[in-house]
Amino acid sequence: MSTTPARRPGGRSAKVRDAVYTAVGQLMGEGKADRITIPLLANRAGVNPTSIYRRWGDLDTLLEEVAVAALTKDGDDLPDTGSLRGDLSAWARIVIDDITQPRRTRYLRAMTSARDEVLTCPCWEQRRTQAKVMLDRARARGEQAPTEQQVLDHVIAPMYHHVVFGLAADRDYADQLVHDVITMA
Amino acid sequence: MSTTPARRPGGRSAKVRDAVYTAVGQLMGEGKADRITIPLLANRAGVNPTSIYRRWGDLDTLLEEVAVAALTKDGDDLPDTGSLRGDLSAWARIVIDDITQPRRTRYLRAMTSARDEVLTCPCWEQRRTQAKVMLDRARARGEQAPTEQQVLDHVIAPMYHHVVFGLAADRDYADQLVHDVITMA
DNA sequence: AGCTTAAAGCAAAGACTTCTGCAATAATGG
DNA sequence: CCATTATTGCAGAAGTCTTTGCTTTAAGCT
């Protein structure tokens, strides 16, 4: 990705990394999230376990890395419906649909176990950026709008909370949250 | 706990269970949350590993059980300040102080990894009950009050979310959330 | 193209975890 | 108080994960 002097991110390393990432994704998808071990992963990836031990050290580090990669790679372009409520509602639905997929849910949970006193994470920064775009547009139209932080706290956080702790979360729930945060403005 | 015909919850089993619970608490407190193993736990508890294997089967089951036990055992009596804002603010501070303790945080994270498609949990039910008491009091005084669900979604959920994902969470943050949810009513 | 060396593969040793009989202990019921 | 039997302790076996030193491969540079 950048000019690293003594590193070799070239074809071979990348190949191994991709194979391992893919293997993690597969095993997660098969519901074996909590029975993943390094030898199992290595076998699935067609890679030597030693390579994983040396590159990532332990399983948590690897899972964290894969989780962040998976959760920040969004292809969704932001909705632009002409009203803040419409935008947030559509966005919240996209997000809830995304994170309730079993594989994504497992990634989220993997993130929590690996985490220790990290003050920021690409995932939330991404959501914040997305929120900002929609809020700025709304303000430009002269609409009353909540702050970015309020959107994160009252729409994003409750949804993630529900998903991570295994509580019910669907589109109606997302709509309700958007309604509440609009009321707040 | 109940009239189980063929079980023996008598002194000895209880002793072992308590020893194991205590050992889990100790190791959690020492920051070795993710390096806990059954043999390690058994050694600390002065119990034979076999006993743990036979009673709980695997580590996740045990940790989940301990986590729920720890997180639902509150001794805090609810604040009664005379106003809803005062009550919620004091309560939110109690909660945030509680769950930001390293040991509690680890319990919370343990809960997420063990969880799979559980739709309800004693922890949230307890918070809901607490919220209901304060909201009923407020309504009896004629105050405008949000719903229980709103309190859970917009005060409790964001705090837990922050804690679980390692984001900053302090009393000022709790106050802000209470302010927002009051605005909503 | 040839050289250097970061990174992966290989294999065997070591450590740890988990399981399985059998013996010992003590909680319940008569 | 005695008999029953749920539950724990013990020890050894089996299986799995992790580490380590060395060899092989190929990316980056001149």
Instruction: Indicate if the pLDDT at residue A1 is higher than 60.
Output: no
Give the integer Cα–Cα distance in Å for A107 and B1: 36
Which residue lies nearest D4, CA-to-C1' measured?
Answer: B6
Between chains, do B113 and A34 touch, taking CB under 8 Å as contact?
yes
Whether any strand D atom is under 7 angstroms from the Cβ of B16: the reply reads yes
Question: Are A11-57 and A72-184 equal in CATH topology?
Answer: no
Kindly report the CATH number that applies to the domain delimited by A72-184: 1.10.357.10
Domain residue ranges in chain A: 11-57, 72-184
Joined together, the tokens standing for residue B72 give 């639902």
Give the integer Cα–Cα distance in Å for B130 and B77: 9
pLDDT band (50, 70, 90) for residue B9: low
May I ask the CATH architecture of the domain B74-184? Orthogonal Bundle (1.10)
The CA R_g of chain A, rounded to the nearest whole Å, is 19
pLDDT above 70 covers a percentage of chain A that reads 90
Joined together, the tokens standing for residue B103 give 């040991």
Q: Can you give the pLDDT at residue B10?
A: 62
Nucleotide nearest to B53 (CA to C1'): C18
What fold characterizes domain A11-57?
Arc Repressor Mutant, subunit A (1.10.10)
In tens, the pLDDT along B45-77 reads 999 999 999 999 988 889 888 988 888 876 678
Whether any strand D atom is under 7 angstroms from the Cβ of B12: the reply reads yes
- Report the SS3 class of residue A31: coil
